[in-house]
Amino acid sequence: MPSTEDTNAAIWKAESVIQDWVLKSSERERQRIAHWQTMADLLPFEPSDEFTFLDLGAGTGSAARVVLDAYPNASAVLAEFSAPMITEGIKALHGYGDRFRYVEFDMLEGTWPDAIPLELNAVITSLCIHHIPDERKQSLFVEIYDHLVPGGWYFNYDPVTTDDQGIDEVWRHTNDRGDPDAEFKRTHRNHAEQARFENHVRYMIPLDQQLAYFRAAGFEAIDVYWKHLENVIYGGRRKI
């Protein structure tokens, strides 16, 4: 079981962690680019449309780059709390010119910086919501809803858990098919790997619980728009 100590900031604000993250970015993006493309396709815009979207917990901007490529007239605001991540993200997004800007923002805080527009056409999150406590998930969803224009959409790509042991076993053995050493890696983590794992799973929760938070925030048209084992893209829109 993971420790109760929240280590998110200690890990993701560490220069050494981010450099290792960047070194492995090509393989990680190869595995996930199709998922980000699905999220981009779900946005209700034509390729020529002009709109502004927010990528919360943007990291180095991997998901935002896919959306910017799909919509050449779109602009991105990338919110991130890690200065090393922002530095690397600016490098990765250099070719997009003035179509993007970073804003320093810790999603654990309830006060959004003025640099984030009050009215957004869309919001996306990718592999970050599971890093925040349940109470904050609920309040953050409300804040996202309040920053969307009527009819604006929010999509979240993230892993979920299950309370059903049988389902969990299916997820695990299916994922293990692609890596014969997976079981060994799980049982032989070094200190840093174990800390990263505990940070990864600490606040991860079942899908139904998150959809309930969406409904409570006021979203409509809520659905699980894509799912593969424990990885999902769910979303909803602000009422028109």
* CATH class name, domain 8-237: alpha beta
Scan for tokens 């048209």, then name that residue: 221
pLDDT averaged over every residue in the chain: 90
Those residues with Cβ within 8 angstroms of residue 48's Cβ, 6 or more apart along the chain or in another chain: 72, 73
| Domain range annotation of the chain | 8-237
Is the pTM above the cut of 0.75?
yes
- Above 80 in pLDDT, residue 10? no
Q: How many Cα atoms sit within 13 Å of 119 on the Cβ side?
A: 4
- Tell me if 211 sits within 8 A of 222, measured CB to CB: yes
- Which tens digit of pLDDT belongs to each residue from 120-141? 999 999 999 999 999 999 999 9
Cα-Cα-Cα-Cα torsion 85, 194, 190, 59, nearest 10 degrees, comes to -10
- Above 60 in pLDDT, residue 2? no
State residue 223's pLDDT score.
98
For the residues 4-16, what does the mean pLDDT come to?
Answer: 65
- Tell me if 232 sits within 8 A of 210, measured CB to CB: no
Instruction: Name the least confident of 14-18, 42-46, 107-111, 148-152.
Output: 14-18
Q: Which band of pLDDT confidence, cut at 50, 70 and 90, is reported for residue 179?
A: confident
- Which tens digit of pLDDT belongs to each residue from 78-137? 999 999 889 999 999 999 999 999 999 999 988 999 999 999 999 999 999 999 999 999
